[in-house]
């Protein structure tokens, strides 16, 4: 009986925890860089491990990808910090560019996102016209209020294939939004993030594109 119970509990644990892997590539001019997201779901929580050329992030979220905590590491520039949510406050501590950092931010509308590609998927599937949220920019720790709006549905190329997708326009709120924006595409069939486009610099900067290469579950 005890052996049967142990096997039963083990099988429950397997069904309670699931993982998905998404492999992307970033294309900026002649530079092509691999990107990777691993999403682990355990009960009512998710852990997202994200690796790119700029650093490694681990995000701790609820099932809708609302942030509870964020751990960022960039060994090359001496950054290793944590950001934790406590009610309407976000407390960030650790090291940023080889200097101690201790900052506090306020989440005025309740929405703190860091992994925008995942956190915006629920909005992409909704009928809401716009979606306002906050993000901490990892390059300088500036705290930005951002807005996402629907930009229609269309066919988009993803690693040589054509998929029907919902397109979002994402920019900062206020007058700065007139000078910069980005686009996210979510596959209509399952609302998985498949493509991103934006300019990450001033005039003459090449377009940056992220696109999904493959996925595993």
Q: What is the pLDDT of residues 93-141, one digit of tens each?
A: 999 999 999 999 999 878 999 999 999 999 999 999 999 999 999 999 9
Backbone angles phi, psi at 4, to 5 degrees: -65, -40
Whether 165 and 187 have beta carbons less than 8 Å apart is answered as yes
Secondary structure of the chain as H, E, C letters:
CHHHHHHHHHHHHHHHEEEEEEEEEEEECCEEEEEEEEEEEECCEEEEEEEECCEEEEEEEECCCCEEEEEEEECCCCEEEEEEEECCEEEEEEEECCEEEEEEEECCCCCECCCHHHHCHHHHHCCCCEEEEEEECCCCCCEEEEEEEEEEEEEEEECCEEEEEEEEEEEECCHHHHCCCEEEEEECCCCCEEEEEEECCCCCCCEEEEEEEEEEC
pLDDT band at residue 201 under the 50/70/90 scheme:
confident
Domain extents in the chain? 28-216
In the predicted model, is pLDDT for residue 4 greater than 50? no
pLDDT for 13 beyond 70: no
Banded pLDDT at 3 (limits 50, 70, 90): low
Cα gap 167→156, rounded to integer Å? 9
Residues pairing with 211 in the sheet: 25, 195
pLDDT at 35 over 50: yes
pLDDT for 65: 95
- Banded pLDDT at 16 (limits 50, 70, 90): low
- Report the C-alpha gap between 193 and 117 in whole angstroms: 6
Cβ(132)–Cβ(147) under 8 Å? yes
């Amino acid at each position: 009986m005890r052996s049967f119970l142990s096997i039963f509990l083990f099988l429950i644990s397997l069904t309670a925890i699931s993982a998905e892997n998404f492999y992307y590539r970033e294309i900026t001019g002649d530079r092509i860089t691999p990107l990777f997201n691993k999403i682990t779901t355990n009960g009512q929580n998710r852990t997202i491990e994200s690796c790119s050329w700029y650093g490694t992030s681990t995000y701790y979220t609820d099932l809708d990808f609302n942030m509870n905590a964020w751990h960022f590491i960039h060994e090359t520039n001496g950054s290793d910090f944590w950001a934790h949510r406590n009610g309407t406050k976000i407390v960030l501590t650790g090291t940023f560019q080889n200097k101690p950092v201790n900052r506090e931010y306020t989440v005025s509308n309740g929405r703190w996102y860091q992994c925008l590609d995942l956190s915006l998927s629920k909005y992409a599937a909704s009928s809401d016209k716009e979606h306002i949220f906050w993000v901490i920019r990892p390059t300088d720790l500036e705290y930005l209020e951002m807005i996402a709006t629907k930009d229609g549905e269309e066919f988009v190329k993803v690693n040589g294939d054509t998929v029907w997708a919902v397109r979002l326009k994402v920019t900062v709120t206020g007058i700065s939004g007139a000078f910069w924006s980005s686009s996210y595409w979510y596959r209509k069939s399952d609302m998985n993030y498949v493509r991103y486009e934006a300019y990450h610099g001033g005039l003459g900067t090449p377009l940056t594109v992220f696109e999904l290469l493959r996925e595993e579950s």
